[in-house]
Amino acid sequence: NAGVTQTPKFQVLKTGQSMTLQCAQDMNHEYMSWYRQDPGMGLRLIHYSVGAGITDQGEVPNGYNVSRSTTEDFPLRLLSAAPSQTSVYFCATTQGSYNEQFFGPGTRLTVL
């Protein structure tokens, strides 16, 4: 079991470029989410999905797009990268009776 995997680990973009951060899970969990982590701000929810074909916005959705065509995959798209999107991005799944989350290793993104 790989759990939650994310690619790439590191990425540098120029302002205005677009890219997709990949997230995959082999735990068969319905709920998946994307967070960004910035110093002193904890984790902030960008988008989430409660199952294939269903997505919704979190706390900071602007500039990001998601889709969920399968249970396993939940990619995050940056439409036109901005320096304010420099951050560490984590994908997570949730399962079980107590809403415990399982995190991927993260993608460190720098936008110049």
Partner 1 sequence: AQSVTQLGSHVSVSEGALVLLRCNYSSSVPPYLFWYVQYPNQGLQLLLKYTSAATLVKGINGFEAEFKKSETSFHLTKPSAHMSDAAEYFCAVSEGRTSYDKVIFGPGTSLSVIP
Q: Which is nearer to partner 1, 17 or 37 (CB)?
A: 37
Q: 1 or 40, CB closer to partner 1?
A: 40
Is 31 one of the binding residues for partner 1 (CB under 8 A)?
yes
Q: Is 72 in the site for partner 1 (CB under 8 A)?
A: no
Q: Which long-range contacts (CB under 8 A, 24 or more apart) does 2-7 make?
A: 2/26, 3/27, 3/102, 3/104, 4/91, 4/92, 4/93, 4/102, 4/103, 4/104, 5/104, 5/105, 6/89, 6/90, 6/91, 6/104, 6/105, 6/106, 6/107, 7/107
Contact segment (CB under 8 A) with partner 1 among 11-19, 35-43, 63-71, 74-82 equals 35-43
Site string for partner 1, 81-110 (x = CB under 8 A): ---------x-x-xxxxxxxx-xxxx----
Q: For residue 73, what is the DSSP state? A: B
Site residues, partner 1 (CB under 8 A): 4, 29-31, 35, 40-45, 48, 50, 58, 90, 92, 94-101, 103-106
